[in-house]
Amino acid sequence: MDEAAPQKGTVTERAIEEIKAMIAEGRLEPGQRLPTERELAARLGISRSSMREAIRALTVMGVLEARHGSGIYVTALEAGDLLETFGVVADLSRGPRLVELLEVRRILESTATALAAARITADQLAAVEKHLAAMNATDDPEEILAHDLAFHREIASAAGNETMAAILDGLSSRTFRARVWRGYQEEGAFARTRREHAAIHRALAAHDPEAARAAAAAHVGEVEEWLRAQLGG
């Protein structure tokens, strides 16, 4: 019938492209359920094993979601779904690449904080303050890190760009920060971090974008410079 398959690349890659195209062209809507693995495989004329590999790849990328016993669904395709893999990049980057990543974070974080200063609501500001207080009230590094992350996430969210917030979240992923912090805290940078956070909060409360941008840039730049020095000598 339709043996026009050009045979480009592996069959699994073709399957991946096929499903991506279905979504991009609107043949599959976010949240919609896909045909079963067995039918998808039959439809493309490939084995279920190959189709499963394609589905797994898209699942890991956050495009699809497989529910055991129920079916395969397209995710909401929101920023958070698709940008989760960004954390992997941060986890596997090393050396000079890590500094570059931190530079990207500095650029985005400073802009996001500036935007947040202009737009933040009272409720959002209260949430920021909650994490700031919790961060200063404990000595458990684990807990401090968690509230630190939430602190910045809340700010990024207040900037009104969920995509940017998701990227920043990935750039500040757990292992990434933990790795850098390990040696950083030992140099008494603890107090400095606390001061920087206070400065950021002050700028947000005053709705001062320029001050917020400067404070955020300095905050990230601090770590950036330290890391650069570590690599240099």
Partner DNA sequence: GCCAGCCGAGTGGTCCGACCACTACGCGTC
Partner DNA sequence: GACGCGTAGTGGTCGGACCACTCGGCTGGC
Q: Using the rule CB under 8 A, which residue among 5, 43, 92, 225 binds a second copy?
A: 92
Q: How many CB atoms lie within 10 A of CB 207?
A: 14
Q: Please name which of 132, 111, 93 lies closest in space to residue 227, comparing C-alpha atoms.
A: 93
Angle between helical axes of 141-158 and 162-171 (0-180°, round to 10): 160
Of the candidates 25, 26, 68, 139, which one interacts with DNA according to CB under 7 A? 68
Please choose which of DNA, a second copy, none residue 43 contacts, taking the beta carbon within 5 to 8 angstroms, the exact cut-off set by kind: none
Distance CA 136, CA 144 (A): 8
Residues 4-43 that bind DNA (CB under 7 A): 10-12, 34, 36-38
Q: Can you tell me which of 27, 30, 32, 71 binds DNA, judged by CB under 7 A?
A: 71
49 near DNA, rule: CB under 7 A:
yes
34 vs 165 by CB, closer to DNA: 34
Shorter beta-carbon distance to a second copy: residue 18 or 91:
91
Burial class of residue 169 in the structure, from the number of CB atoms within 10 Å of its CB (0-12 exposed, 13-18 middle, 19+ buried): buried
- Using the contact rule CB under 7 A, the part of the chain among 47-55, 75-83, 118-126, 188-196 near DNA is 47-55
Indicate the burial class of 133 (C-beta count within 10 angstroms; 0-12, 13-18, 19 or more). exposed
All residues at 6 or more sequence positions from 6 whose CB lies less than 8 Å from its CB, including other chains: none
Q: Applying CB under 8 A, does 39 fall inside the site for a second copy?
A: no
Residue from 34, 41, 63, 135 in contact with a second copy (CB under 8 A): 63
Nearer to DNA, 9 or 96 (CB): 9
Bridge partners of residue 11, in order along the sequence: none
Backbone angles phi, psi at 30, to 5 degrees: -55, 135
Half-sphere exposure at residue 17, Cβ-oriented, CA atoms within 13 angstroms: 8
- The single-letter DSSP state of residue 71 is E
Q: How far apart are the first and last CA of the chain?
A: 66
Contacts of DNA in 108-147 (CB under 7 A): none
Q: Does 128 bind a second copy (CB under 8 A)?
A: no
Closest contact distance (angstroms) between CB of 36 and DNA is 3
Which residues form the interface with DNA (CB under 7 A)?
Answer: 10-12, 34, 36-38, 45-50, 52-53, 55, 66-72
Applying CB under 8 A, which residues contact a second copy?
A: 12, 16, 20, 23-24, 49, 52-54, 56-57, 59-61, 63, 77-79, 82-83, 85-86, 88-89, 91-94, 97, 100-101, 103-104, 107-108, 111, 161-164, 167, 175
